[in-house]
């Protein structure tokens, strides 16, 4: 039966651990269909109800692409914030998580696995947005008439996922700081104003000046501008990349601080 | 490094780990050691300069009242927390280093399995952390869980979940298994099954550190008992030694007098009268108590004298914690 180790084979590699953690997390998520469905269909529904009926937006390929990119990033942001913020907070309350910390793996595999899982579900949210956008708006014309290269589409998907990084860090920060009930509330309070002020619901062209200026300092706006630029070839500001990187560093630092603080405080 | 030496020594000690011979075990390799470790949470001192060595092949039972520091001590050994001061070593390394935990098996305290993962997936997942895990099918069969392999963990009964958790502690073929309250809330059958599994693990040369509220469990599984109270070790020895250390006996008889009368006897620790009218005096000197009974001219019938259970010894130890501590110091000098 369960005898002691006789041989002394090498311990599993980080890659093997990462694979095991990712698999477990993906399976856990997939078995809670409500969570999967709500995060994947939300951006698609927003596209269907708020963008498709507006003839003005859908008839122009560039404005259609802008709307698609905005909502795609909206999906990425919600997936990252909710998956991480609430997921981590729930996990902290669960003794299973303490058990996992006694296994011979450092914090890296589970943290990266969580990022990969969040990216995977965000990716699922992007697919229907792209399909619907392709079928029901004039967006494909920008590619068929040769104005834009088709390669922008796969590139956009990758860039969108990376644009979500500051929100991933923000989710971690909230998750390590709050209990799961508080985390749900805080995430929602942070999410909607940030999405709106970042120009993910209404394009920033429609903002009053003061809001536009304020918006340019937000990570959601920077991410939105980059997301729109990479798909439609316009919309980015000189400060966008700098702003996004700065926010990623700041929020990443806060997430790390919250993680340390949490480890120090926790006891039973 | 220490590790190769440990492996070489293991074969010789595996045969000598009989429960009755703790002194011999102390000569075997040290798998884990805690040296002068302290840990506080805010104003609460959980551990104050605790020392403990865990030797290969022994089954160490950790006893102590709630809040004595048992869970904190285990969390230091399992790499969940860092000691404020002092040294903690696991297989010659810092337990916070994941490599130190390759030969460690633990279970969580509460039933907290991931609800939506299937049993097989859960075991596979944990097994993926070890170089040479027990095949999942084999492990599930050993714990009588084969039929449940494709069920989600959330669908298991409390007893099945508990069996799964202990199985998980063994999946990596660990040399040291730490079990924190492994059978809390289990029925007698399920507990017996788990005890059997742990006995098999021990016979295979495994080392066990176990905490339990069930003293019966410690008595059944442990070859060495360490009692901690207020963050330090107050007694350390075999089950028999711990009992004789406090020299506790039970003197029981039928009498008309109230239990409180006997509490004032010299040497008496406590006295109580059962519903059936049998008075039991827990005493540090049964002979003196019986002599006193006779001298006082107490009317009594059905006199019996028993050695105390571990539970009674443990209660006496923690009650006289400060005295016991000086005694331990004297013994080791």
A184 lies in a domain? yes
A193 vs A118: CA distance, rounded Å: 22
Hey, is the C-beta of A17 within 8 angstroms of any chain B C-beta?
A: yes
A187-239 confidence digits (pLDDT tens): 889 988 999 999 888 888 889 999 999 999 999 999 999 999 999 888 888 88
State the count of interchain CB pairs (< 8 A) between A and B. Answer: 121
A104 vs A84: CA distance, rounded Å: 23
A106 lies in a domain? yes
Q: For strand B249-254 and strand B278-283, is the pairing parallel, antiparallel, or unpaired?
A: antiparallel
Q: What's A13's DSSP letter?
A: P
Hey, is the C-beta of B151 within 8 angstroms of any chain A C-beta?
A: no
Residue to test with chain B: of A1, A2, A11, most B Cβ within 10 A: A2
Average pLDDT over residues B116-140: 94
Are A99 and B108 inside 8 Å of each other by CB?
Answer: yes
Tell me how close the Cα of A107 comes to any Cα of chain B, in angstroms. Answer: 9
Hey, is the C-beta of A106 within 8 angstroms of any chain B C-beta?
A: yes
Strands (E), chain A: none
Residues of B in contact with A99 (CB under 8 A): 106-108, 112, 168
B131-161 confidence digits (pLDDT tens): 999 999 999 998 889 999 999 988 888 888 8
The confidence score (pLDDT) of residue A155 equals: 92
Hey, is the C-beta of B200 within 8 angstroms of any chain A C-beta?
A: yes
A76 vs A106: CA distance, rounded Å: 27
A7 lies in a domain? no
Which of the four pLDDT bands, split at 50, 70 and 90, describes residue B320?
low
Number of domains present in the structure of chain A:
1
Q: Which residue of B has its CA nearest to A21?
A: B125
B93 vs B90: CA distance, rounded Å: 5
Q: For strand B268-273 and strand B232-237, is the pairing parallel, antiparallel, or unpaired?
A: unpaired
B234-267 confidence digits (pLDDT tens): 888 888 887 776 667 888 999 888 888 888 888 7
- Yes or no: say if B106 and A100 are a contact pair by the CB < 8 Å rule: no
Residue with more model confidence, B313 or A73 = A73
Q: What six digits make up the tokens of A189?
A: 């309070």
Look at residues B283, B224, B265, B252 and name the one whose alpha carbon lies nearest to residue B59: B224
Bridge partner residues of B224 (DSSP): B60
Q: What six digits make up the tokens of A59?
A: 């008839």
A95 vs A87: CA distance, rounded Å: 14
Greatest Cα-to-Cα distance within chain B, rounded to the nearest angstrom: 71
Which of the four pLDDT bands, split at 50, 70 and 90, describes residue B12?
very low
A1 lies in a domain? no
Whether the per-residue pLDDT at B26 is higher than 70: the answer is: no
Domain extent, residue A213, equals: 14-265
Whether the per-residue pLDDT at B328 is higher than 80: the answer is: no
Q: What's B244's DSSP letter?
A: H
Whether the per-residue pLDDT at A131 is higher than 50: the answer is: yes
The confidence score (pLDDT) of residue A145 equals: 86
> How much of chain A exceeds pLDDT 70, in percent?
94
B228 vs B318: CA distance, rounded Å: 8
The confidence score (pLDDT) of residue B283 equals: 85
A194 lies in a domain? yes
Hey, is the C-beta of A13 within 8 angstroms of any chain B C-beta?
A: no
Are A12 and B129 inside 8 Å of each other by CB?
Answer: yes
Tell me how close the Cα of A141 comes to any Cα of chain B, in angstroms. Answer: 45
B278 vs A197: CA distance, rounded Å: 79
CA A171 to chain centre: 9
- Yes or no: say if B169 and B134 are a contact pair by the CB < 8 Å rule: no
Which of the four pLDDT bands, split at 50, 70 and 90, describes residue A4?
low
Hey, is the C-beta of B29 within 8 angstroms of any chain A C-beta?
A: no
Nearest to A102 among B7, B106, B138 (CB): B106
A2 lies in a domain? no
Sheet holding B301-307, edge to edge: B268-273, B278-283, B249-254, B301-307
Strands (E), A13-162: none
A9 lies in a domain? no
Residue ranges of domains in chain B, CATH in brackets: 3-243 (3.40.50.300), 245-332 (3.30.70)
Rg of chain B's alpha carbons, rounded to an integer?
A: 22
Residues of B in contact with A11 (CB under 8 A): 99, 102, 130-131
A5 lies in a domain? no
Coil, strand or helix at A32: coil
Sign of the CA dihedral B122, B128, B133, B137? positive
For the beta carbon of residue A191, count every other beta carbon within 10 angstroms.
20
Look at residues B198, B190, B199 and name the one whose alpha carbon lies nearest to residue B161: B190
Q: Average pLDDT over chain A, rounded to whole?
A: 86
């Amino acid at each position: 039966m369960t005898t002691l180790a006789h041989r002394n084979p090498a311990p599993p590699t980080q890659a093997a651990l990462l694979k095991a953690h990712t698999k477990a997390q993906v399976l856990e998520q997939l078995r809670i269909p409500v969570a999967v469905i709500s995060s994947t269909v939300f951006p698609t529904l927003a596209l269907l109800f708020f963008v498709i009926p507006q003839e003005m937006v859908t008839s122009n390929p560039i404005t259609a692409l802008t709307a698609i990119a905005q909502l795609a990033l909206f999906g990425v942001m919600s997936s990252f914030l909710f998956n991480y913020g609430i997921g981590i907070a729930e996990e902290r309350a669960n003794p299973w998580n303490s058990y996992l910390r006694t296994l011979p793996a450092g914090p890296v595999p589970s943290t990266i696995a969580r990022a990969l899982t969040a990216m995977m579900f965000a990716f699922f949210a992007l697919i229907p947005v792209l399909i619907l956008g392709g079928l029901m708006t004039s967006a494909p014309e920008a590619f068929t008439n040769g104005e834009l290269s088709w390669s922008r589409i796969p590139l956009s998907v990758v860039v969108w996922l990376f644009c979500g990084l500051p929100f991933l860090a923000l989710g971690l920060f909230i998750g390590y700081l709050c209990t799961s009930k508080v985390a749900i509330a805080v995430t929602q309070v942070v999410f909607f104003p940030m999405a709106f002020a970042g120009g993910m619901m209404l394009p920033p062209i429609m903002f009053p000046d003061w809001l536009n200026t304020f918006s340019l300092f937000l990570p959601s706006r920077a991410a939105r501008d980059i997301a729109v630029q990479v798909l439609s070839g316009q919309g980015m500001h000189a400060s966008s990349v700098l702003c996004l990187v700065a926010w990623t560093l700041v929020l990443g630092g806060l997430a790390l601080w919250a993680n340390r603080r949490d480890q120090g405080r926790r006891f039973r | 490094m220490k590790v190769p030496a440990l492996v070489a020594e293991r074969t010789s000690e595996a045969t000598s780990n009989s429960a009755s011979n703790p002194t011999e075990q102390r000569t075997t390799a040290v798998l884990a050691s805690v040296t002068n470790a302290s840990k506080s949470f805010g104003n609460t001192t959980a551990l104050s300069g605790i020392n403990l060595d865990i030797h290969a092949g022994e089954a160490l039972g950790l006893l102590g009242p709630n809040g004595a520091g048992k869970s904190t001590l285990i969390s230091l050994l399992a790499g969940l927390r860092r000691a404020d001061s002092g040294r903690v070593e696991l297989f010659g390394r810092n337990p916070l280093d994941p490599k130190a935990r390759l030969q460690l098996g633990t279970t969580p305290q509460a039933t907290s399995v991931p609800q939506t993962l299937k049993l097989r997936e859960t075991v596979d997942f944990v097994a993926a952390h070890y170089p040479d895990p027990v095949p999942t099918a084999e492990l599930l069969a050993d714990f009588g869980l084969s039929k449940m392999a494709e069920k989600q963990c959330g669908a298991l009964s409390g007893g099945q979940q508990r069996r799964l958790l202990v199985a998980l502690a063994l999946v990596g073929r660990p040399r040291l298994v730490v079990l924190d309250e492994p059978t809390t809330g289990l029925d007698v059958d399920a507990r017996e099954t788990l005890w059997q599994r742990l006995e098999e693990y021990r016979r295979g040369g495994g080392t066990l550190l176990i905490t339990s509220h069930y003293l019966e469990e410690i008595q059944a599984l442990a070859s060495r008992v360490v009692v901690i109270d207020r963050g330090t070790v107050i007694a350390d020895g075999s089950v028999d030694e711990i009992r004789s250390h406090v020299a506790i006996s039970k003197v029981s008889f039928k009498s008309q007098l109230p239990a409180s009368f006997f509490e004032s006897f010299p040497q008496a620790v406590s006295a109580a009268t059962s519903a059936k009218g049998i008075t039991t005096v827990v005493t540090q000197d049964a002979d003196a108590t019986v002599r006193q009974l006779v001298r006082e001219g107490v009317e009594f019938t059905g006199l019996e004298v028993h050695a105390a259970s571990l539970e009674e010894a443990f209660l006496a130890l923690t009650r006289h914690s400060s005295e016991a501590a000086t005694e331990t110091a004297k013994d080791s000098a």
